[in-house]
Structure 1
Amino acid sequence: MFVKRTIALLLAGVAAAALGSGAAQAQTPAAQLTTAGTRIDNTASVTYSVNGTSQSIQSTTASFVVDKKVNFTVVTAQTGPTVVNLGDQNVVTTFQVTNLTNDVQDFLLDPDQQNLSLGLFPGSDNFDVTSLRAYVDSNGNGRYDAGVDTQTYIDELLPDASATVFVVGNVPTQAGAKYAYNSLHVIAAAGGQANSQGAILIGTDLNLAGADNIVDIVFADDDSDGALLGDIARNGQGRAYSGWHVAVNNVALSVTKSARVLEDGLGSANPKAIPGATVEYCLLVRNATLTTGANGVTLADVIPGHTTYVPGSISIGTPGALGVCNVNGSTEDDDDNDGTETDGYTAAFDGLAKKVTVNLASVGGGGSVAASFKVKID
């Protein structure tokens, strides 16, 4: 169902707002239209005179039922794309479906993704969200609530009433991802039975004569997106467009390295960097971007010549102050077997390459982490 379509539009200067809104022309409110299935009877009377005597008779009754005029709109209920970050889950675009039919209607929801070559937004589509799905706003608060908004079709929508629909997906951690276009394809279905998804409406063949006692299905929906974008007028279907924008593809991540002599083997109050002294290196990682975390942060540091790594000396934790590298730091082992790690940090020392590797997993927006290790001066 969720098929990505590639569509080319060769017209220049098309207004994005017109494409996304799908606004129909002003028309009579559906609630003022005669309800489909209403029986209309009409009888005529005839009066006449015979030899000065007035007479009257009634005609036979002509009857018919009002047919169903299927009409609705699908519009994007937001301005511009939804701004997201890489790896975000349950990201949302919002649409509104309004029933302009002279009857209660169900509507089926078919979200899909678009690879559009026209400028709905400033950039071109270059990634897909995963687990694409559509849900109806069940409590009318205009906000997607996972586990609450679970209805996957619009049920028993009254004439002139509107329903908010959320198209939901997950953003991949795809390098360079910028824009993902999506659309909500809506199909008119039979109403009349609550909590039951109606069958797709099939329009009556307009070349056939109307049946007086049968409610014909007449599609009167306007073209909501332009025929070049996959929808046509009077087909019982509508479509509107929106999308997601990864606004940040990088963060202001900085790493500051410092060194301090912890002790020199002579008991000096102010130890000096002499052979045999122990030196602590501190790597302070800061993420100055408040709204976006940096994931998969890995530090690699080859120890300098004329030094020897102190086994088991790697520590990772909250940055300290007054020369202290980290506080409440966790001591990490020196091997690559991190199966027993539970704090989210791992580290290792490669004796052949003489390299310390520290894996921080992530540094949250506005966050900082400090990692330290020790060497002895040869």
Structure 2
Amino acid sequence: MKIHNFNAGPSILPKQVIQQSAKSVINYNKTGLSLLEISHRSNHFIEIIEKTTSLVKRVMNLNEEYSILFLQGGATLQFTMVPYNLMKNKAAYLDTGIWANKAIKEAKNFGKVKILFSGKENNYSFISKNYKIPNQVDYFHCTSNNTIVGTQMNFFPKTSIPIVCDMSSDIFSRKLNFCQFSLIYASAQKNVSSAGMTIVIIKKKILDKIKKKIPSYLDYKIHIKNNSILNTPNVFSIYTSMLTLEWIEKKGGLSILEIENKKKSQLLYEEIDRNNFFENKIQKKDRSNMNVTFFLKKKYLENEFNNMCKKENIVGLKGHRSFGGYRASIYNALPLESVQFLIEKMKKFEKKFS
């Protein structure tokens, strides 16, 4: 039975990654031990984390100025760790969605927050490019892809101010100049791995500016010193990340994935725009290639559409509880076939109720 998985996260992963992970849970690398049983201080795990670190740098074309961390607490903990480690007095933020807004709320506990743009009054339906980053801020924070509403940044400013970016829902989905960012963080359950691990990519020199005392677990420098093993890390999620990154390299890297992701999203947006029963409320230039949101124009038909999706094994389309409607998350591992199948059923739905 073919299931078409449009879940926003935890999300679809490559089949071979799941298969290899499953084998390793039974017997890791012919050790007779489950991956879940090996010591995080053992040579087996040190090899995994070192390889995963190298893969992140290679796939993103990062230089040696960067450290890679594998932490816990999701992106939510990073909303606190970023200002704790980087803010002296003031930081600049873009408010482009619910998660960006939550990051702003946490940053206000550590200093002044300058909101350069907020899309809240317009239901986050677009992302402004007409903002100026002040020279007097410690860093500029943005969210590259807004999972809930379905917007994505296609423009990142050129600035001497350190750029911090939450890439939780579009990391490894497209080619960017990642060296323009001073800090990137991304929870792993979208595009990368299982839930419970967060990748943090840090340009080390930005950590020298803060001299205040920071609790150990919240201090990036201590995590760097301990190679992400200050406490027991999420061994399974780091291992699965390694397999996913190997899969990305075998496919040809981020350039290939970007082409595939654009093709999938464009096909679906074209159908939504054409179909008389559906609509997307995001300005076209800011539409996400990862999370395609849409609404039924005739709300009373929602049960009919939901039942059709259930019958056809289309899962994960329900929109976020705060936004409503529908959301097709089309991450790297989702095959083009699933998008085409959804489009076919949307056309069938239109024909049935016209």
The answer, yes or no, to whether TM exceeds 0.5 is no
TM-score range, shorter chain: under 0.3
Q: State the structure with more CA Rg.
A: 1
Structure number with higher strand proportion: 1
Larger RCO, structure (CA 8 Å, separation 6 or more): 2
Structure number with higher helix proportion: 2
